[in-house]
Amino acid sequence: MIKNSSSSNGSSNKVDPNKVDPNKVDPNKVDPNKVDPNKSGSNKAVPMGNFLVANPVDLEHVVRLSKFRSCVGHDYSPAVLAKSSASDTSIEGKRSMKHYVIIDVPSSPSRVVKGYAPFDGTLSYSTSGYTMGIAVLITSSDGWVFEFMHVDPLVADGSKVKAGDAVVAVPANNAAAANAQKNAGGTPSGADSTNVFDIALYNPFLKPSNFETIFKHFAPNVASLWAAKGFTAESTIISKELRDASPCVTDGSWNGNFVGTAPESDYVNAIGYKP
């Protein structure tokens, strides 16, 4: 910060109010590398289609996925961000609009499975509320966000990345410790939780925020890799109509944890895998 002081000849170093201080951050200036979640749109159309051009996950160890709109985990939907009431049926809520990825590796050694940027973009971290790993987000120039949760980053916060760059790894370095803590607390699924990470795709430029399954936006060559394991758009998505008719039950917590155990029909297994 520039301090006002008098020089030996009596002149003042006061800042000219008509000139911009290049060292001062303008709070009204938008950071082009960050998406404004409160912006309701622009003149530029938000792209859809097959824009996930690189495979985001090393599939060798992936054995099971939760379905889009499942009752696995906690409420992850536009209604959570919009804080809409339960009576507002225009916004999807009480469902998990992401995929939990189950891998067949123990919590140690860590960083066995890699995750990759599915498109060109800017990488950022989110650490709030995470006891195992962190969240790593890839934001495209069009506002789409691909998010990995409960992972270790392989790239510095704020980096520009290209489609196909290795950006995360699992299990996280603290997975074994987190597993032990969960078990010490009597968490029934603690032993399994360290073999899971989450992936989500959404666009906060839209109001309400648009949550999408990755399986509707894979490039054909990427979709074929997942299909070879038994994961397709047909097998991994619960329809909106079906979930609307049978919404998940939450416990009323800030996280919207689902009550009870999700049915087996809320998962899809890799070909040949039996849990």
Domains located in the chain, CATH noted: 59-83+92-269 (2.70.70.10)
pLDDT of residue 181: 67
pLDDT of residue 2: 37
pLDDT of residue 21: 42
What pTM does this model have?
0.77
pLDDT of residue 237: 98
pLDDT of residue 83: 61
pLDDT of residue 243: 95
In this prediction, the residues of the chain whose per-residue pLDDT falls under 70 are 1-47, 81-90, 181-194, 208
What is the three-state SS of the chain?
CCCCCECCCCCECCCCCCCCCCCCCCCCCCCCCCCCCCCCCCCCCCCCCCCECCCCECHHHEEEEECECECCCECECHHHHHCCCCCCCCCCCCCECCEEEEECCCCCCCCCEEEECCCCEEEEEECCCCCCCEEEEEECCCCCEEEEEEEEECCCCCCEECCCCEEEEECCCCHHHHHHHHHHCCCCCHHHHCCEEEEEEEECCCCCCEEECHHHCECHHHHHHHHCCCCCHHHHECCHHHHHHCCCCECCCCCCEECCCCCHHHEEECCCCCC
